[in-house]
Amino acid sequence: MTQRARQLIDESRNAIVSTEERIRLHPYLDALEKRGFGKGRLGVFAGQQRHIIESDLRSMELAVSRAETGAAREFLSGMLEGERAALSALLLFGRALGLSPEQLDAAKPLPGAFAYSAYVYWLAGNGTSAEYVGAFLANLDVWGANCGRVSRALQANYGLVKEDVAFFDLFATPPPDFGERGLAVVEEGLEKGANPQLVRRAARMLQGYELMFWDTMWEAVKS
């Protein structure tokens, strides 16, 4: 049963609903759907994601190594594999924009974009598995929804094909059991003494950094 965990994540999301709405209604997405900026500026997104994904890979490796239980370790290992698949898919997106892996590596990290990953690494090293997984459970719905919008806009307005946008589709369609398995990890953590207030804090912080990422992407392309 995951009743306590489900209630906690629902409460966490309700507490940050205004932030989630700002992410879902972000002007970057509106501009993308109206082809409000040129294809060349999409490289900013690709370059920043290269740094973010590579950092998140290290974060997830750390989270796996610190997992308190076998179930948490198994779930986090699955997240790690998903992140590795995302990195491979990101290279396809870069290629569609005419960018090599070396060019993506050479992109200068933007503080407002990379802050998300800096917090994820901090959480992996300092939080419990319940905090780490709970934060992502609260965050990934809006990230997935936005990725779906980006995928559709790129295909409709920028001439990209399905293979080119695999990175976005990967996040837009998570495994069907992802949420339930994640809730089981949070439930197990709560049973072992994880602090619900820290889970709520992790969700609030991660969602705030998610908004900061989109704000930074918009600032980079709107002028």
Of residues 92 and 223, which shows the higher confidence score?
Answer: 92
Average pLDDT, the chain: 97
Q: How far is it, in rounded angstroms, from Cα 1 to Cα 130?
A: 15
Which domain does 209 fall in, by range?
Answer: 3-221
Give the CA dihedral 96, 217, 30, 53, nearest 10 degrees: 50
pLDDT value for 1: 67
Radius of gyration of the chain (CA): 17
- Total of domains in the chain: 1
pLDDT above 90 for 41: yes
Residue 27's closest CA among 220, 218, 202?
218
Q: Which residue has the tokens 């700002």?
A: 22
Instruction: Determine which of 63-67, 173-177, 179-183 has the lowest per-residue pLDDT on average.
Output: 173-177
Residue-wise pLDDT tens digits, 75-118: 999 999 999 999 999 999 999 999 999 999 999 999 999 999 99
Instruction: Give the HSE-up count for residue 128: Cα atoms under 13 Å, Cβ half-sphere.
Output: 22
Residue-wise pLDDT tens digits, 6-31: 999 999 999 999 999 999 999 999 99
One-letter amino acid at 202 equals A
CATH code for the domain of 7: 1.20.910.10
Residue-wise pLDDT tens digits, 115-129: 999 999 999 999 999
Q: How far is it, in rounded angstroms, from Cα 138 to Cα 204?
A: 9
Average of per-residue pLDDT across 65-74:
96
